[in-house]
Copies of this chain bind each other. A is one copy, B any other.
Amino acid sequence: MSGSDPSYLVFPVERLMEFSQRTFEHFGVPQADARLAAEVLARSDLRGIDSHGVARLHTYFDMLQLGRINPRPHIKIIRQSPSTATVDGDNGLGLVVGPRANEIAMDKAAQVGTGWVSVCNSNHFGIAGYYVLEALRRDLIGWAMTNSTKLVAPLWGGERLLGTNPIAIAFPGLKEPPIVIDLATSACAYGKVEMAKRKSQPVPRGWIIDAAGNPSENPQDMIDGGALLPLGSFREMGGHKGYCLAAMVDILCCVLSGANWGPFAPPFALRQEIPSRSVGRGIGHFFGAMSIEAFIDPLEFKSQIDQWIAVFRQTKPQPGSPGVLIPGDPEREAEAVRSVEGIPLVLPVVEELRDISRQTGIPL
């Protein structure tokens, strides 16, 4: 992770953010939107979620270049009630549609205690954790979910039908840092399968199935038309639960908003096939915001969260393990390091950024 490791190059986060912003602007994304989108990506890189930061910039670049994403969307509320809204993202960048919809949820929470926004006609929105961190800035409990391109088989299914459909939620502490939960509902991330393939290593039984639907330990089997398994993997270990959670996310994000659910989510990367059928518009997200004082004295809540954290930190550790972490610890620690030392990018990602630079003339 340092500048002397030849497999990485380290960039100050500000430089990457400026590069991302100018890349978005290159396609006519308005300056404020481009800045916002760049911030969402940078937050991912800062927090150590390398797969969702500038490593994805070339995909956004491709989608904008092909006109598959609308650089100047008219994002609008198509239905609402005092505590809810349905938002049509007009096929804009998810990195812009997501934050706007999340703001609507937060505004409603300030007015009537909670706000819940389902979003259709959007695109990849970055890390779910970004949105719940934004809610914390307004002293709210934030929720975020999204569907994504099919990668995961439902329990007992032999093919991809669901995305990795993450769930994020965050709770503020008083003196302690917040509890920040952000998890995909699959047994593992697709990136881990790709990494095992690059290293020619097997993957644990329970991560993937092959194209025939059989469990496999060969990462190539998943890539060649197999699927990820849901959290819990097999029936005996609770694979039905991961499937249920992914289904819940799919329905809240897509059926409730009018987006493409299940296997019909449009692809994000160019190499992915376009589904033969459309059942809605774009992909979908779901945001929630809850005012703490609508339930309990916020000071009391935060002081109990501090105690919760203290008790969980003091758990007797499992032998041979690092001991219990608080959700959000690893990402916060990454952010503390990277905001000072910069963002390490693997060379293939640097090469992708250089390609954007060559095509657009924006200096890296």
How many of A's residues come within 8 Å of B, CB to CB?
Answer: 89
Interface residues of A in 237-295 (CB under 8 A from B): 237-238, 240-245, 247-248, 250-251, 255-258, 261-263, 279-280, 290-292, 294-295
Sorted nearest first, the 6 A-B pairs with minimum C-beta distance are: A81-B113, A81-B294, A156-B321, A84-B113, A157-B315, A82-B112
User: Which of the 9-residue segments A1-9, A26-34, A323-331, A342-350 touches chain B?
Assistant: A323-331
For residue A187, which residue of chain B has the nearest CB? B238
Contact across chains for A237 and B295 when beta carbons are under 8 A apart:
no
Contact across chains for B237 and A204 when beta carbons are under 8 A apart:
yes
Q: Please measure, in the bound complex, the distance between the C-alpha atom of A257 and the C-alpha atom of B300, giving whole angstroms.
A: 10
Contact with B along A218-247 (1 / 0, CB 8 A): 000000000000011100111011111101
The listed residue (B114, B161, B242) touching A116 by CB distance below 8 A is B114
For residue A305, which residue of chain B has the nearest CB? B255
Contact across chains for A83 and B158 when beta carbons are under 8 A apart:
no
Q: Given A188-B238, A244-B327, A321-B156, are A304 and B255 also a contact pair (CB < 8 Å)? A: yes
A316 contact set on B, CB distance < 8 A: 157-159, 213
Q: Given A154-B315, A295-B256, are A83 and B86 also a contact pair (CB < 8 Å)? A: no
Q: Please measure, in the bound complex, the distance between the C-alpha atom of A159 and the C-alpha atom of B317, giving whole angstroms.
A: 8
Give the number of copies in the complex.
Answer: 2
For residue A108, which residue of chain B has the nearest CB? B83
Contact across chains for B237 and A187 when beta carbons are under 8 A apart:
yes
Contact across chains for A231 and B236 when beta carbons are under 8 A apart:
no
Q: Given A296-B258, A305-B255, A318-B209, are A84 and B291 also a contact pair (CB < 8 Å)? A: yes
For residue A213, which residue of chain B has the nearest CB? B318
Determine if A151 is an interface residue (Cβ-Cβ < 8 Å). no
Contact across chains for B79 and A82 when beta carbons are under 8 A apart:
no
Q: Please measure, in the bound complex, the distance between the C-alpha atom of A157 and the C-alpha atom of B315, giving whole angstroms.
A: 6
Chain B CB count within 10 A is highest, among A256, A307, A311, for A256
Contact across chains for A156 and B323 when beta carbons are under 8 A apart:
yes
